[in-house]
Chains A and B, each alone.
Chain A
């Protein structure tokens, strides 16, 4: 069964068709890559999947259920987790506070009960804290638990964000450029991390990614978007060697290169 199915979604902002008839699917345990040049509609597609945008037409299914009309937080409750291109964290809070905030739906008590200070909420808070600390340990953030997020370097922020999303206990992880700002070596290490996380947390992953070697390393299936439309799909190798994809990435230059190399 497919965990995620996007069926012919289109969305228009004024005169810009940001997504046109985009369809993609991710099966259980799959890691699906979404690639494409800047402005291809990758993040727009993510926003449709996670509920920040309502598509003008088309549907989004999650675990077989039509979620097109659900709010963002309702999708989180169903098991959807997402990271942001510009790091989605509460910047003024510490790493631990972020990991606690992300466990909003795992708390097991109502906000009112917490406010009044019912006895059970103290134990629940200790449990959440232990879980946050354990998660930080797994991601190598144990030493930074009491550090404010605002001052941390970008690479660490990305790791904290990943930890926060995992704290929401997702079944489907949507990663928006998880290796941006990383060098090739780090990106490669991240690939190994991702594979281990998938095994540990039973995850299905959809990720927007630019590092081609990483995509080839971990992705089971790849979709390539361009100008809001699906350009190509298939295994990483098939998509990578697709001439349309090469042209989309290299644009006019590719045409010129081809023309120059052609005998006159």
Chain B
């Protein structure tokens, strides 16, 4: 291609292009040796917390850490819907519950191996999400949110009452798989699954599928003009979310070694939505941190206040309600003060870790700046 079009084509435009060009000229920031060592130390510390801390804690606590890892998978599942397609799901507890019961049923009733059960949970999760996705092609926005709400309630009342599948109110046993029977080993297994989910999510956003979803979310007409089949990609997003949720549900079941249907109530769906939004939509690390935070908050809240801080005349909040109380407060803060959620707050740290400056400002030469937060859009 030898064609040359003079950049000075439009006088009105040129000054802007010029001022931006000046910024490009300045060489990109590179940290010195001490800088790299400091970054290495921080990364090692994070890895140590994730990998080593559970080895020195009791089984009860490891069980809760495992749940945090699984919540991160569920958060990433909801992020695909909320973040990438912009569709709200208030029935995500059903997505997760179906995965949990499918896997428990496969292992306990059908006597299938763990991996087959997990695979089945993902397939079933994908299929039920596909059905809901088909609905979303016709109904959007608030009305679709109501459909998902009804779907969640329906699953709670009917699907989860099927005696054979869920064991009724008694629940269904879901033993841990061979080789991973201890809480600590199962924790590492879940960490491996989370890594796989993060990988898929990362590659999705870096390739044509993720770009197509972003275009569909913002402007379906433009997406179609670029050659994207809007329907197919909307359905694809639902299936991906369903598969992730099915996986999360199955892992949750085997973590508790027993599933009861009462777990999958509307309150859980609310926690899922809040943890994803507060974590930061379209921000992978933010969603993982937000989900883990909301999974752990109840336990640590309980520990903190039952340990000694007893204010006379004030009842201590039961730990089940901690996310529901803290959640809306953080949600309010997220909506009014920083729309990017926790992901936006930790972005300077991520930037720094990747060898950039510690700065919350979006710079155009920063590869991490794409997607995510909306505040910078307004500022730009």
Which residues does A use to contact B, with CB under 8 Å? 50-52, 71-73, 76-77, 81-82, 84, 88-94, 97, 100-105, 107, 109, 111-112, 114-117, 121, 125, 134, 138-140, 143-144, 146-148, 150-153, 155-156, 164-165, 168, 182-183, 185-186, 189-190, 193, 196-197, 200
Compute the total of residue contacts between A and B using a CB distance below 8 Å. 164
- Contact size range, B: 35 or more
Q: Is the CB of B215 within 8 A of A111?
A: no
Among candidates B199, B209, B371, B380, residue contacting A114 with C-beta atoms closer than 8 Å: B209
Q: Is the CB of B233 within 8 A of A111?
A: yes
Pairs across A and B, CB under 8 Å, 10 listed = A76-B225, A101-B215, A101-B226, A104-B226, A121-B203, A140-B9, A147-B20, A189-B10, A196-B3, A200-B3
Q: Is the CB of A143 within 8 A of B24?
A: yes
Q: A76-B226, A152-B16 are in contact. Are A94 and B364 (CB under 8 A)?
A: yes
The A contact surface, by secondary structure, is helix
| Chain A hits for B211, CB < 8 A | 93, 97, 100-101, 104
In the bound complex, CA of A72 to CA of B231 (Å): 12
Q: Is the CB of A104 within 8 A of B225?
A: no
Q: Give the residues from 308 to 327 in chain B that come closer than 8 angstroms, CB to CB, to chain A.
A: none
| Chain A hits for B219, CB < 8 A | 88, 90-91
| Chain B hits for A140, CB < 8 A | 5-7, 9, 17
- Does B56 sit at the interface, judged by CB under 8 A? no
| Chain B hits for A185, CB < 8 A | 11
Q: Min CB distance, B322 to chain A, in Å?
A: 34
| Closest B residue to A83 using CB positions | B225
Q: Min CB distance, A240 to chain B, in Å?
A: 26
Q: Min CB distance, B195 to chain A, in Å?
A: 12
Q: Give the residues from 297 to 345 in chain B that come closer than 8 angstroms, CB to CB, to chain A.
A: none
Q: Min CB distance, A69 to chain B, in Å?
A: 15
- Does B227 sit at the interface, judged by CB under 8 A? yes
| Chain A hits for B12, CB < 8 A | 153, 155, 183, 186
Q: Is the CB of A76 within 8 A of B5?
A: no
Q: Is the CB of A101 within 8 A of B214?
A: yes
Q: Is the CB of B222 within 8 A of A89?
A: yes
Q: Min CB distance, A190 to chain B, in Å?
A: 8
| Closest B residue to A156 using CB positions | B13
- Does B138 sit at the interface, judged by CB under 8 A? no
